[in-house]
Structure 1
Amino acid sequence: MHVLVVHNRYSSAQPSGENMVVDQEVELLRAAGHRVGLFERRSDDIAARSLPGKVAVPLLVPWNPSVRKELAALLRTERPDVVHVHNVFPLLSPAVLAGCADAGVPVVATLHNYTQVCPPGTLHRDGRECTECVGSPASLPAIRHGCYRGSRPATVPLAVSLLVNRRRWWSGVERFFCISAAQRDILVRSGMPPERLAVKHNFVPDHGARREGDGEQLLFLGRLAEAKGVGQLMAAWDEIAAAGGVGVPLVIAGAGPLEREVSAWAAGRDDVRYAGLYDPRECRRAIARSVAVVAPSTALETFGLVVAEAMAAGVPAVAAGHGAFTELIEDGVTGLLHRPGDIGSLADRLRLITAGRSRNREMGRAARIRYEQGFSPEVGLERLVEGYRAVIAARSGGGESPSPTGDGNTGPRRDTRAGRDGGSR
C-alpha cells in the first residue's frame, strides 16, 4: 500500500513518546514493503520564525489554510491509498482533513491522548483527574482554569479548535485508532461516534535486551511531572526507607518540570539515584537491569509505553490501577497495580514486587508472553494494515465499518475478565 503519514513533531527539547511511535510505525511499514510518505511540520521551527510569525502561530491552531492547499496538491500528485493523521498541533491544524477531502483520500487518525474532548489532552488538573470539559463543546472550564501551560490565553486556541472542528473530525476520519480500550470508553462516553473508534495498541520493537537474573534496581523512566506521579513516588519511597528499605535502590531517569526537585531529593542518598535523561539505548539497558519499572501516574494514561517496553524485556511493572495500565497489567500475574493516588498502597506494592524473587521472575516471564501476544511488531503491523485495508475497502464500497473494539480478526482478543486488555511514556 501507499500511505501518507501526517504529523506535527513535538519539540526536541523534551523526549516524545508520540514522535517515537510515529517513527517506529513508519519504519515497520517500510520494512514490510509498503510505500510511506511524510507530510510534517516541526514545533522546533517556531523558534526560527519572525516575531510576527510567532505571534500568528495561535491563529493557525484552529485552521491553517495554507496547509489545506499544500496537502491537497500533494495528495493529487502522489495519490496514496490512505492518509494516517497523528498530531496536528500547533502548525498543521485540522485543515489537513479538508485537504484529504478535497483530494478524495480516506483518512485514519491515531488518538494519542484526549485532545478530542480536553484542550490540553490530559484529563488532568491540579494533581487529579478532571473531566469538566468532556461533553462540553465550548471547553469553558479549560479556559477558566488555564489548563494548557497554566495560561488562559494559551488555552483559548485549543478550545476554539475543539469547538469549531469537532464535527469535522468526527465526519472526516473513517477510523480512529484508540491506543487502549480505556481511552475508547471515555471517548465514546463523550459523544464520539463509536462505530469509528477502534482499539489498536501501540507496539514496541524487540531490541533483544532481556533481563538476566533478578535485576538490581527499581526504575522510574519518564517525564518528571506531577501527572506522572513523581511526587507520590518520592513520598512512598521515603516511607519505605524509614522502615528499612527493600534491598535495591530506586533509579529515576528523565527530565521535566520537577527535575530540580527530584535531583535535590536524591542528592546524598545511597538508596536513590537520579540518572538524568537517558538515550534510547540507555533506556533499554536500564529496563533490563530492573527488578520492576514503576509507573505511578495520577493521570489517566492512554497507553503506557514504558510498561510495554518492560514487558518486552521480561520485566514486570508496578503501576497505578487506572486508565490503560489495567489493560497492560494483569494484577499479580504480569505486574502489580496500586490504588491511584494512594502513597501507602504504592509503597506496599513496591515492597511486594521486591520481596519474592521467584514470584518476580514468574511475573517477568508472563509479562514477556503478554508482550509477544499483544505488543510485538508482528501484531502491530497486522492490526495497522488491517485498519488501512478496512477504510480503503469501505471507501470503495466493498468493506465493513470498523469493529467497535478494534479486535477484528487480528491478534489475540481483548481480555475481558476484569475489563482489561493490553497500553505513553
Structure 2
Amino acid sequence: MRVVVVHNRYRSEHPSGEDRVVDQETALLASAGHDVELFERRSDDIAAMPLPRKAAVPLLVPWNPVARRELAALLRARRPDVVHIHSTFPLLSPSVVAACADAGVPAVATLHNYQAVCAPGTFYRDGRICTDCADAGPLPAVRHGCYRGSPLATLPLAVSLVANRRRNDTGIARFFCISAAQRLLLVQAGMPADRLAVKHNFVPEPGRRRDGAGEHILYIGRLTEEKGVRLLMAAWDLLHARGGTGLPLVVAGSGPLETEVVAWARGRGDVRFLGLRDRDGCAELTARAAALVAPSEWLEGFGLVVVEAMAAGVPVVASGHGAFPELVDDGVTGLLHRPGDAESLAACVRRIVADLRDNARMGTAGRARYEQDFDPAAGLRALLAGYRAAIAAPASCEPV
C-alpha cells in the first residue's frame, strides 16, 4: 500500500506523544513492506522565521494555501492509495484536506485529542473538565482565552473550527479515535458517528520488562495541572504523613509546573525529581517501577505511558475516567482511583505496593493485555483495516 503521512511536529522542547505515534506507525508500515512518504512541517522552524513571516503564522492556522498546493502536487506525482493526516496545527492547516480532494485521494485522520471541537484540545479549563465548546461552538474558548491563556491566541483556532467543520466532516473518509471514550465525546459534540472508528494506539515491544518487585513508584509525563501533578503531590503528602510506602516517588518530565515540583521535592528522601528523560531512559525507569501512576484530571484520549507500563509488566494506578477504564481493568491489570480525589489516589498507591504477589499478578495480566490489544501486530491490523475502509468508501468533499 502507498501511504502519505501528513503531520505538523511539535516543538522539540515539549516531547509529544503524537510525534511518537506518527514515528512508530510510519516505521511499522515501512517494516511491513508498505511505501510510506512523510509530508511534514516542524513547529521548531517558527523560531528561525523572519519576523514578518513569524507574525503571519496565526493567519495560516485556519488555511494555508501553500501547504495545500504543495501537498496536492505531491499526491498527483506519487498517486498514493491513502493519505493519513495527524496534527495540522499550526503550519499545515485543514487546507491539507482540500489537497486530498484536489488530487482525488481518500484521507483518514487520527484524532489525537479533542481539537476537532475544542480549541486547546483538552476539554479542560480552570481546573475542571469543560465541554462548553462542544455544546456552543468555539466562542467560549475565545472568551476564556483557553489557548495559552489568551483570547487573541485562541482566535485563529476558533476561526479554523468554524470555517473547516464541514470540510473536515465530509472530506475525511474515516476518523481514527484513539479510544471509545474519546469517540463518545466527539459524537456527542456532533461529529459524524459513521466516520468515527476506534483505533487504539500501539506500543512497540519495550525491550526491557520488570524483573522483581520494583524499586520506585513512577510518574512520567508533562508537569501540568490537567495531568494530575498537583493531585499526585497531595496524595503523596498524605502517604508520607501516614508512614509512606517504603518506596520513593520518581518524577520524570517537564512542563509549566516544573518549578513547583522541584521546590516540593527538594530535601525529601521519598521523592526524586529527574526532569526530562529520553525514550530509553523512560523505558529503563518503567522496567524498574513497582507501579506507574497516571492521575490525569482531564479526560485522556488514550495514555501511552499506561500501555508502555503494561508492556513492561508493571501495574498501573490511573484515574477512573477518560480512556483509562478501557486500558486498565480495575483490580486485574491495575487500579483506578476516583478522579480528582487525593485520598483515593493515595489508597490505591498504598494498595498496589502492599502485596507483592498481587502486584506481580497485575503486572503479568497487564503484559497479557498488551500482547492481545496493543502490540505492533494489533496496531498494523487496525491501521490497514482503516485504510481499506477509507479506500472503499471515500469521502464526498469537493475541491474548493
Coarse TM-score class (shorter-chain normalised): over 0.9
SS in 2 for 1:220: strand
Aligned to 2:51: 51
Contact 1:219 1:292 in 2 (8 A): yes
Tell me whether 1:217 sits opposite 2:207 in the alignment: no
Q: Does 1:100 align with 2:100?
A: yes
Q: Distance in 2 between matches of 1:143 and 1:130?
A: 14
Task: Look up the equivalent residue of 1:247 and give its one-letter code.
Answer: G
CA contact (8 A) 1:336 1:349 kept: yes
Are the aligned partners of 2:107 and 2:394 in contact in 1 as well (CA < 8 Å)?
no
In structure 2, C-alpha distance between the alignment counterparts of 1:88 and 1:391, rounded to whole Å: 20
Please report how far the alpha carbon of residue 248 of structure 1 lies from its aligned counterpart in structure 2 after TM superposition.
0.5
Aligned to 1:383: 382
Q: Which residue of 2 aligns with 1:132?
A: 132
- In structure 1, give the amino acid aligned to 2:134: V
Output the CA distance in 1 between the equivalents of 2:277 and 2:69. Answer: 40
Q: State whether residues 334 and 363 of structure 1, in contact with CA within 8 Å, keep that contact through their aligned partners in structure 2.
A: yes
Deviations 1:216-262 (A, max 9, x none): 10000000011100001001100100010011000000000111111
- Counterpart residue number, 2:86: 86
Match in the other structure for 2:398: none
Is the aligned partner of 1:258 residue 2:223?
no
Structure 1 residue 207 displacement after superposition: 2.5
CA distance in 2 between partners of 1:395 and 1:91 (Å): 26
Cross-structure match for 2:122: 122
The separation in 2 between residues aligned to 1:127 and 1:394, in whole angstroms, is 41
Q: How does 1:265-344 map to 2 (within 5 A)?
A: 265-344=264-343
Structure 1: distance between partners of 2:361 and 2:349: 16
SS for the counterpart of 1:69 is helix
TM-score (norm. length: structure 2): 0.98
By how many angstroms is 1:25 displaced? 0.3
Unaligned 5+ runs, structure 2: 396-400
Contact 1:43 1:90 in 2 (8 A): yes
CA contact (8 A) 1:223 1:255 kept: yes
Does the 8 A contact of 1:117 with 1:135 survive in 2? no
Residue 33 of structure 2 is matched in structure 1 by 33
Provide closer, same or farther for how the CA distance between residues 166 and 395 of structure 1 changes in structure 2, counting only shifts above 3 A: closer
Residue number in structure 2 paired with 1:110? 110
In structure 1, the residue matched to 2:2 is 2
Shift of 1:394: 2.4
Q: Which residue does 1:71 correspond to in 2?
A: 71
**Do 2:106 and 2:394's aligned partners in 1 also have CA atoms closer than 8 Å?**
yes
SS in 2 for 1:109: strand
Pairs aligned (count) = 395
TM-score (norm 1): 0.92
The 8 Å contact of residues 225 and 256 in structure 1, kept in 2 or not, is answered as: yes
Q: CA deviation at 1:62?
A: 0.3
What's the counterpart of residue 203 of structure 1?
A: 202
Match of 1:248 in 2: 247
CA contact (8 A) 1:88 1:94 kept: yes
Q: Distance in 2 between matches of 1:98 and 1:390?
A: 20
Whether the aligned pair in 1 keeps the contact of 2:252 and 2:276 (CA below 8 Å) is yes
* CA distance in structure 2 between the partners assigned to 1:364 and 1:68 by the alignment: 47
* Separation in structure 2 between the aligned mates of residue 297 and residue 27 of structure 1, nearest angstrom: 29
DSSP-derived class of the 2:134 partner? coil
Deviations 1:10-61 (A, max 9, x none): 0001111100000000000000000000111110000111111011000000
The CA deviation at 1:67 is: 1.1
Aligned partners of 1:37, 1:27: CA distance in 2, in Å? 11
Letter of the structure 2 residue corresponding to residue 68 of structure 1 = R
Query: C-alpha separation between the residues in 2 aligned to 1:67 and 1:82?
Result: 18
Unaligned runs of 5+ in 1: 397-425
The SS at the match of 1:46 is helix
State the shift of 1:175 in Å: 0.3
1:228 aligned counterpart, secondary structure: coil
Is this contact kept in 2: 1:251–1:272, CA < 8 A? yes
| Cα distance in 2 between the residues matched to 1:352 and 1:315 | 14
Percent of pairs with identical residues: 67
Partners of 1:223 and 1:254 within 8 A in 2: yes
Deviation of the 1:208 alpha carbon? 2.0
Q: Which residue of 2 aligns with 1:152?
A: 151
1:135 aligned counterpart, secondary structure: helix
> Hey, what's the Cα distance between the residues in 2 that align with 1:393 and 1:59?
35
User: 1:392 aligned to 2:396?
Assistant: no
Distance 2:364 2:353 in 1: 16
Query: What is the alpha-carbon root mean square deviation over aligned residues?
Result: 0.8
Are the equivalent residues in 1 in contact too, given 2:206–2:308 (CA < 8 A)? no
Greater alpha carbon shift after TM alignment, 66-75 vs 317-326: 66-75
- Whether 2:184 is the aligned partner of 1:167: answer no
Task: Name the structure 1 match of 2:17.
Answer: 17
Equivalent residues of 2:333, 2:363 under 8 A apart: yes
1:320-360 deviation line (CA, Å, top 9, x unaligned):
00000010001000000000000111111111011111000
Task: Give the distance between the partners of 2:31 and 2:393, measured in 1 at CA.
Answer: 26
1:353 aligned partner: 352
Alignment check: 8 A CA contact 1:6 1:38 kept: yes
**Cα distance in structure 1, aligned partners of 2:303 and 2:71:** 32
Letter in 2 for 1:228: K
1:226 matched residue in structure 2: 225
CA displacement at 1:306 relative to structure 2: 0.2
